[in-house]
Each structure stands twice: as C-alpha cells, then as structure tokens.
C-alpha cells in the first residue's frame, strides 16, 4: 500500500506525522547539500555542479516508477517521460511486439475493458477470504501435514484480519466523536462573535469572561487552527477525508466480499498471463506516482516548479499500485516489463504485510538483478523494525525459491531498502514514522515535507519513505548516467559506503526512546550524491556487459513453464 498525500485528518489522528508550525523545510531541501547548504539533503545539486565543472558528460538512463500512475503531460515531467522508440502512438498495434499495444510511456496493469482499479482490498483480506472458503466447515482435528500447517496460518490471518477490521470500526466511531466537539466549538465562537470564520488573531482577542464553555471552545479552535483547520471549509474537508479514510477501510480494504479485479479481466492467480492491462498511464489517482516521479527527475532547467534529483533521466511509468494492497502478480509483471524495456533503476514506493505469491516476485527481482537493474524500495511508514516485522516485497528469497530457481543465492544483490530522513537535526533527524532495520534497511534519504509535482499541473507536499526511496533512486540515476560502466551491484555498494555517517542518538521511530543512528540501518548514514560521485570516480568497473538469460530462467522462460498458479503459504 502506498502512502497517500498528507491530509489534516492524519494530523488529527496521528500527531507524530505533524510538522511543527514553528519550523519549515527549506525549499527543495531534498536536493541540497549538508556541507554547502547546511541541510541534510541528497547533495544532488552540488554533485551535478561538480560533474559539469569537470566536463563530465552523462548518458540518458531510464528510471521505472512502479506506482499509482503518473501525469505524463505535467509541465515539469512531460520532457522527461520515456518514449518507447519501437512503438507508434495511437495506431492500436503492438509495433515492437513486446505484448503491449501503444505502450508509449509505460503500462498500466490495473485496467482493462471494465475500467480502472482504484480501490482494492488488502492482501490480508484476500488471504482471509481465500482461506475462509477453503476451510469452511472443516474440523481442524482431521487435518495433517501441509493442510494442518496452512490451517494454522489461516488462524493467524483470521485473528489479524478481525483485529484490523475492529480497529477500523472503532476508528470510524472515534472520528465522529473527535469532529463533534470541534464543530460545537466553531458554533459557540460564531454565536459569541457573530463571525462564521475568524482569524487566529481575532480569536485570541475574544474575551470569554467567566464562560467556561466558551473558553474551552476557544482553546479547541486554537488547537485545530495550529494544525491547519482555520475555517469551516477546512473543517468540512477534514471531516470528509476522515470519513473517506475509514469508509475505504471498511468498504474496500477490509471487505472480503469486495473484488474489483473483474475490471482488469485477468485471473490474478494465473501467472502464465503477462499481457493484460492498458496504456492509461495516469489511472484514477496519480497523486502518489506523479509526486514520486518529480522527486526523481522533474525538469531541472525549465525555470519552473521544482528540480528533480537527477538529470539525463527518462521516467517510465508502470502502474501496479492501487488504493489498497498491490497484487504480487502485478508487481512481478511490472518489474519484468521495466527490465525488458530498458530500465536501469526501478523505484518501488509501496509495501504490504503478506505476499502469498512472493516466489513469482522473487523471480522478477532475480531477473532484474541478472539484467543489471537496481531496485530501490521504500522501507515503510509504520515505525516498525524490518528485521523482525514482515514487509513485502523484500530482498530475501523465499525458501521455496532458494530450493528451486535460485539455489545458492540468499537475497537480491541489486536491492536497496530506504528509510525516511527529516531536514531537522540532532535527535529529530529520522522521520518519526519511518521503518528501520540494522540488517534490512540500507540507508536513510530525505522523506519529510517533500515538495514535488502532483496532478493537474500542480505541486504539493507529501512525506513518507515513499518519498525517500525516489530521492535515493535519483542519486542512483546520477551514478548510472555519469558512470555507466559501473554495475548495479557497484552502485549499491558505493551508495552505502559513501553515506554521511551519523553520530549520536536519535528518536527511535514511533517512540520517545533514543538510540544510536547506527542501530537503524546497515550503513549507519544518509545518502550523499557528492560523496557517491567522488567514490565512483575512484571505482574500477566490474560491469557484466552481457545481460543474459540465466539457465534457471526468468521472464518469458519462467512464464512459459508456469502452470495455473498454486498459492504458496508464506
């Protein structure tokens, strides 16, 4: 599931997501440099300046954005969108014979003749529905072997699903209770002042005298004004979005009877079919993907909007992420598509807690690694430890995959997991929502109050590891552009070894506990384009010039052997 755009509702329900009203992130801070600009951005501006000063020429690289869709005609993105050289736009023919008709800028695996999938269920809901059907009327005392093991898994899924459903129901009830006193406060202040809307300065001058209820109403209004709810219109928007949030959870995400897949027209359990979808690049809600694309490569020289981290980039959009959990089949096929069509870097700002067809995603990631493609993934926004808490996709191959296709290899060698960094210093450097992991999160990258492109030709702020991953992917794109002789494995190694090491303690995400920064990620530091470029200058190439199809077989060779998929219990 992707992190949706920041809304005031999140501020009301999750206070640790709030950005203090007393501080403001520097403009375009995610491209700034710690030494030159005194803010812990990626250092991309300075790195590119130094490269150009040295006369270094970069080559164009393709970065695939596997996400919710991208507004391809946005003023800051239209000139950096990938254009398929083998396809003729609008002729309804698969000119390059890659299996996808008119895929000029990429592909959408979530649409078909029935429409575009917007809302989806969570994977835990799909697992609950599948297993409930399988074990309906079953006496567990009569189960043995694999069936018994899967039933035990079902019991775990059932308990977790029912807990989440109950929390959503309680959340809806609590949201209503939260809004009511705020509405009452607005009404009371309006009655006392005669003003429907009132400024914070005017509110501060209201004399409540001995009226305790009016004093309480003023205090409530001052509190919500500090969070951005300054008018009745703001309150109505917050109320609507809060209701929408829980409505989506109860009616879509956690509704086992909801199934929008008929819109696409494929069987999500049939992994032999890779050719489905349409070329509707934007989809029904492209906020997230458009924001991500802008962070990576918004035009740097058009004197408008924002600057992306990298230049010499073409963005390939591959829509595979709905409002809900992405399906393993779509993620795997999106990776296959990106690799087969020339991507050097793939950004994946999504994640979920269950992955029943993980082996197929593993096959796609192995295919990407074998073809020298770097995979950059967001660590997640649950303030959890990725070393102990499940988060998919990840770089660890399943046991079944290790015994079969991958044998000796334990993980994906070209995988990078990214945590979110704030522009704030000292103990507040790490975003309070970010996942972390001393073994499984590689480094931290800017992910708080990131201003980037959004649909309808506009710009807006968002935050999350969803933003941190593309900031890091942009740095990777710089290295792949200016040092094309380096392999994806080398780029990963350089980015980890060239981090700006972080000393001292920070707040452990989601807690008030302080821990050493080095306990939160593999590298113990934050991304630095300046350091990475300097190290790349001194690194001898070890790139495998041949992007070969391994005998173990990925992509078409695997897809050709797969029969009707058996869902594998994690």
- pLDDT tens per residue across span 132-167: 999 999 999 999 999 999 999 999 999 999 999 999
pLDDT on residue 24 = 85
Ranges assigned E (strand) in 427-536 = 443-446, 450-454, 458-462, 500-501, 505-507, 514-516, 525-526
pLDDT tens digits along 243-275: 788 889 999 999 999 999 999 999 999 999 999
Buried b (16+ CB within 10 A) or exposed e, 241-270: bbeebbebbeebbbbbebebbeebebebee
Question: Predicted confidence band at 178 (pLDDT cuts at 50, 70, 90)?
Answer: confident
Alpha carbons 245 and 230: distance in angstroms, whole number: 21
Alpha carbons 350 and 317: distance in angstroms, whole number: 15
Alpha carbons 344 and 64: distance in angstroms, whole number: 8
Sorted by sequence, the CB contacts under 8 Å of residue 361 that are 6+ apart come out as 328, 331, 332, 335, 355, 392, 393
pLDDT on residue 211 = 93
Instruction: Tell how strand 458-462 and strand 450-454 pair up.
Output: antiparallel
- Calculate mean pLDDT across residues 217-221: 93
Contact 378, 351 (CB under 8 A): yes
DSSP string, 163-203: HHHHHHHHHHHHHHHHHHHHHHHHHHHHHHHS-SS--HHHH
**Mean pLDDT, the chain, whole residue set:** 89
Q: Is the pLDDT of residue 281 over 70?
A: yes
> What share of the chain has pLDDT > 70, as a percent?
89
Closest to 317 measured CA to CA, from 351, 291, 352: 291
What is residue 485's three-state secondary structure? coil
Q: Is the pLDDT of residue 402 over 60?
A: no
- Tokens read off for 418: 């990214």
Q: Residue 182 phi/psi, 5° resolution? A: -70, -45
Contact 270, 565 (CB under 8 A): yes
Q: Is the pLDDT of residue 560 over 80?
A: no
User: 111 forms bridges with which residues in the sheet?
Assistant: 116
Contact 16, 472 (CB under 8 A): no
Peptide bond into 387 cis (omega under 30): no
Domains assigned to the chain = 8-117+267-561 (3.40.50.200), 125-253 (no CATH)
- Calculate mean pLDDT across residues 54-78: 97
Q: Is the pLDDT of residue 16 over 60?
A: no
Dihedral sign (CA 165, 167, 170, 175): negative
Alpha carbons 131 and 127: distance in angstroms, whole number: 6
Q: Is the pLDDT of residue 218 over 60?
A: yes
Contact 356, 127 (CB under 8 A): yes
- Give the up-direction half-sphere exposure of residue 120: CA atoms within 13 A in the CB hemisphere: 29
pLDDT tens digits along 70-96: 999 999 999 999 999 999 999 999 999
Helix (H), strand (E) at residue 232: helix 232-248
Buried b (16+ CB within 10 A) or exposed e, 185-199: bbebbeebeeeeebe
pLDDT on residue 239 = 79
Contact 288, 68 (CB under 8 A): yes
| Of 227 and 365, more confident | 365
Alpha carbons 188 and 190: distance in angstroms, whole number: 5
Q: What is the pTM of this model?
A: 0.86
Helix (H), strand (E) at residue 511: none
pLDDT on residue 163 = 97
Q: Is the pLDDT of residue 424 over 60?
A: yes
Query: Max CA-CA distance within the chain?
Result: 83
Contact 163, 197 (CB under 8 A): no
Q: What angle do CA 283, 284, 286 make, to 5 degrees?
A: 70
Q: Is the pLDDT of residue 428 over 80?
A: yes
Ordered alpha helix ranges (H), 341-455: 358-370, 399-401
Closest to 40 measured CA to CA, from 307, 417, 421, 420: 421
> What share of the chain has pLDDT > 90, as a percent?
80
pLDDT tens digits along 298-355: 999 999 999 999 999 999 999 999 999 999 999 999 999 999 999 999 999 999 999 9
In degrees to the nearest 10, what's the CA dihedral of 100, 102, 106, 107?
-50
- Terminal CA-to-CA distance of the chain, rounded, Å? 19
Q: What angle do CA 131, 66, 347 make, to 5 degrees?
A: 115
Per the listing, tokens 């329900």 go with 13
CA distances from 502 to 36, 51, 182, 512 (A): 17, 26, 42, 19
Contact 279, 102 (CB under 8 A): yes
Sorted by sequence, the CB contacts under 8 Å of residue 570 that are 6+ apart come out as 153, 354, 355, 356, 358, 390, 398
- Tokens read off for 491: 């780029």
pLDDT on residue 409 = 61
Closest to 457 measured CA to CA, from 71, 167, 30: 71
């Amino acid at each position: 599931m992707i992190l949706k755009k920041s809304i005031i509702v999140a501020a009301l329900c999750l206070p640790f997501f709030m950005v203090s009203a007393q501080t403001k992130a520097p403009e375009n801070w995610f491209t700034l440099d710690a030494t030159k600009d005194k803010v812990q951005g990626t250092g991309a501006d300075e790195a590119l300046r130094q490269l150009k000063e040295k006369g270094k020429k970069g080559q164009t690289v393709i970065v695939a954005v596997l996400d919710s869709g991208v507004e391809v005609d946005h003023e800051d993105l239209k000139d950096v969108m990938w254009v398929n050289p083998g396809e003729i736009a609008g002729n309804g023919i698969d000119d390059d014979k890659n299996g996808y008709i008119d895929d000029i800028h990429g592909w959408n695996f979530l649409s078909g003749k029935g429409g575009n999938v917007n809302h989806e269920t969570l994977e835990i809901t799909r697992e609950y529905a599948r297993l409930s059907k399988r074990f309906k009327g079953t006496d567990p005392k009569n189960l043995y072997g694999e069936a018994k093991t899967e039933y035990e898994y079902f019991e775990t899924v059932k308990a977790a699903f029912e807990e989440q459903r109950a929390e959503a129901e309680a959340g809806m009830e609590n949201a209503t209770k939260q809004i009511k006193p705020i509405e009452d406060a607005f009404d009371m202040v309006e009655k006392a002042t005669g003003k429907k809307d009132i400024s914070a300065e005017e509110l501060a001058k209201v004399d409540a005298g001995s009226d305790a209820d009016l004093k309480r109403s003023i205090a409530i209004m001052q509190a919500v004004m500090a969070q951005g709810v300054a008018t009745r219109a703001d309150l109505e928007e917050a109320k609507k979005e809060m209701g929408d949030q829980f409505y989506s959870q109860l009616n879509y995400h956690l509704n086992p009877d909801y199934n929008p897949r008929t819109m696409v027209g494929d069987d999500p359990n049939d992994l032999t079919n890779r050719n489905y979808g349409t070329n509707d690049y934007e989809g029904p809600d492209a906020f997230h993907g458009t924001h991500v694309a802008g962070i990576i490569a918004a035009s740097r020289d058009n004197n408008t909007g924002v600057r992306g981290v990298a230049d010499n980039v073409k963005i390939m959009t591959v829509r595979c992420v709905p409002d809900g959990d992405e399906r393993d089949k779509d993620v795997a096929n999106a990776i296959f598509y990106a690799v087969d069509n020339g991507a050097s870097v793939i950004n994946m700002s999504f994640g979920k807690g269950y992955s029943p067809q993980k082996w197929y995603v593993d096959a796609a990631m192995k295919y990407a690694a074998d073809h020298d493609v770097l995979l950059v993934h967001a660590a997640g926004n649950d303030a959890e430890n990725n070393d102990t808490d499940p988060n998919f996709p990840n770089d660890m191959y399943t046991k079944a995959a290790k015994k079969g296709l991958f044998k000796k290899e334990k993980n994906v060698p070209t995988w990078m997991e990214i945590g979110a960094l704030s522009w704030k210093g000292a103990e507040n450097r790490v975003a309070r929502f970010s996942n972390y992991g001393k073994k499984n999160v590689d480094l931290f990258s800017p992910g708080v109050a990131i201003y980037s492109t959004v649909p309808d030709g506009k710009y807006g702020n968002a935050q999350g590891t969803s933003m941190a991953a593309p900031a890091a992917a942009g740095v990777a794109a710089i290295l792949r552009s200016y040092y094309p002789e380096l392999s994806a494995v080398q780029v990963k190694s350089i980015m980890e070894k060239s981090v700006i090491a972080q000393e001292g303690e920070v707040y452990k995400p989601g807690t008030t506990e302080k821990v050493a920064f080095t306990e939160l990620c593999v590298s113990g530091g934050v991304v630095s384009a300046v350091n990475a470029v300097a190290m790349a200058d001194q690194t001898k190439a070890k790139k495998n010039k041949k992007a070969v199809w391994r005998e173990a077989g990925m992509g078409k060779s695997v897809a050709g052997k797969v029969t009707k998929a058996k869902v594998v219990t994690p």
